[in-house]
Every structure is written in structure tokens, then in C-alpha cells.
Structure 1
């Protein structure tokens, strides 16, 4: 196990009401991946082919993307987010943390500092859809989530990152 992999925390979430979550892939949390230079977060994601990037926050309602995996890198502040749906896990994210959400994973901001800001991106520049918890999870959505391919690169470590081993 590499030192990078040793610093990755994982969670598996089962379907939770209106949030399907991913049937096989875990959420990955890279604690303190950018301890010094968070301005480089977006450039690094893009260099590793996680594209269609943006800078903003996390919605304050449960939602997920059925057609794309998503990486979120905290570039300032901190927030508490709930991952996996209403019965999921509350996670505190701080500047420098990176979380990778497999397609279907519910996420919602519960609280955050006034300066909380993230960079988000998608493997290969996928164009994510947006589903809210209030929508019913259909068999077609479950099939779409299961069919999203595993990325060729880890958003932080590139071609030799923990994502490639943990998402086999």
C-alpha cells in the first residue's frame, strides 16, 4: 500500500430512500491532499483529465449525479456535508481535502464557514445531470449509475493513484 493510499478513507453507502448511491464503488476522502497550495487544485484535476471544472460550493439539499463521477477539492474554509443520503455519514471537509464521489452518491452541505469554496470536476469532462432526493430512483437510473465507467486516472495522483486500485 502506498503512503497516498494509506491517507485515503473510504465509505460504501447503500441505497437510502431517494438517493441510490453507487452499488460497487466507495466514496474516497483524501484528507489534506493539498496542504499548502490549494490554488493548484483545479490545474491538477485538469492535468489528470478530470475536466469540466467549476468553483463554488455544495448545494444545501440532497442530490446526486447518475451519469458522472465527481471530485470536490476544498480550496478554502470548511463545511460539514452529509454523504450517502439522510442516513449517510456527516463528514467535515477542510481546506486541502478532496472527496471523490462515485456516480449516484448523495451529497448535501449541512453547514459551512463563510469562506467555504470547492473546485469540482468530472473524469474526461463528463457533463453531469442533477437528481434531487425528492425524485424516485428508477431501475433506469440504477442501470445508468452502474454503467458509468471507472476513470483512467486518479484526480489527485494521476495514473498511479489509489482510486485505480480501490475502484477496480
Structure 2
């Protein structure tokens, strides 16, 4: 499957809110697959696994701003649509829909602001990276930034795209 070049969004740190974000761009692959529902979920799981990003869950997106300081994250939307925020409480809003993939560098804040009732995604992470949920704490900002900086770059893009060149 040929993969088009993703949207690449740079999101600055928000020290006042405690969100490290990242010097690496968020990648958004629009309409990567043309399917919905369980077939799309299975397609994303197979695609992520084939590119060495083991899928771990099927769920929605938390409705509060959070980030993962110990893992990069790939999200494949397999049902519905959502308006999300990237970058923490002062971040930017984006629309995502079934077929889209987001690749979030460690530290990037994200939240679901509004979504269709059927909205769901597959989540995947590079091998050996374990995610946790952090909500942003200005008092712990420096420590979160150190954890984010220590997360290894993945060897491959979760969909076979241009992450290796965009994240180096």
C-alpha cells in the first residue's frame, strides 16, 4: 500500500501547563485506509504489527488533556470522527475521522473535545515502550521533559511512511 506524506505539526512546549510536547512533529496520515468498523480495526492492527508497533488496545480518546512521557503512540481511527486538541490545554484543535492515523511523539498532549458516539481507535507503541497517563503538572515539567528526551526513536513508521526521515 503506498503511503502518502503525512501532515507534520510541530507543537511547542507549554511549561505553564506542564506539557512538554516534543521537538518531533506529530504526524497525521489522512484517510490511510478506506474501511470502517471491525474490518478497519483489524486492518490497522495488522498494519501496525507489520511495521513493528504492536497494537495494544481498541478504545476512544480520553476527554482530558494528557500525554505519555515514556512512549511514542500511534492511533488508527477505525470508527466515527472527533475534534481533538493537540498540545495540552492551550493547544490546537484538529478534526480526525475513520481511516486517519496519528503518530504522537512522547510528551505531546492530546484530548478528545467532541466525538461521534461510535468513535474508536486502535492504539500501538514501539516495542519495549510502556505508556502511562500524565495530565500536565508545572511542578513536574522538567522531570517530564527529561523522560520524554530519553524515549528512544522508533526504527520504523507504524504505517510504513516517512517517520524515520521526519523524526531524525
What is the TM-score with the length of structure 2 in the denominator? 0.90
- Which runs of at least 4 in structure 1 moved beyond 4 Å after TM superposition? none
C-alpha displacement of 1:18: 2.1
* Unaligned 5+ runs, structure 1: none
1:43 is aligned to: 46
1:53 is aligned to: 56
1:119 aligns with 2:116: no
1:26 is aligned to: 25
What is the TM-score with the length of structure 1 in the denominator? 0.90
| Partners of 2:105 and 2:27 in 1: CA distance | 9
- Conserved 8 A contact 2:126-2:154: yes
> What is the CA RMSD across the aligned residues, in angstroms?
1.6
- Conserved 8 A contact 2:3-2:159: no
| Partners of 2:19 and 2:29 in 1: CA distance | 23
Alignment of 1:1-150 (within 5 A): 4-6=3-5, 8-16=6-14, 17-22=17-22, 24-36=23-35, 38=40, 39-134=42-137, 136-150=139-153
* Unaligned 5+ runs, structure 2: none
Deviates more, 1:114-123 or 1:137-146: 137-146
Secondary structure of the corresponding residue to residue 103 of structure 2: strand
Q: Residue deviations 1:37-94, cap 9 Å, x none?
A: 5131011111211125100010000000000000000000001100011221111110
| Partners of 1:52 and 1:75 in 2: CA distance | 13
C-alpha displacement of 1:147: 1.4
Alignment length (residue pairs): 161
Q: Residue deviations 1:1-39, cap 9 Å, x none?
A: xx7353x101111112221101x2010000011123513
Q: Residue deviations 1:102-158, cap 9 Å, x none?
A: 00000000000011000001011521011013563332221110111110011011x
Secondary structure of the corresponding residue to residue 18 of structure 1: coil
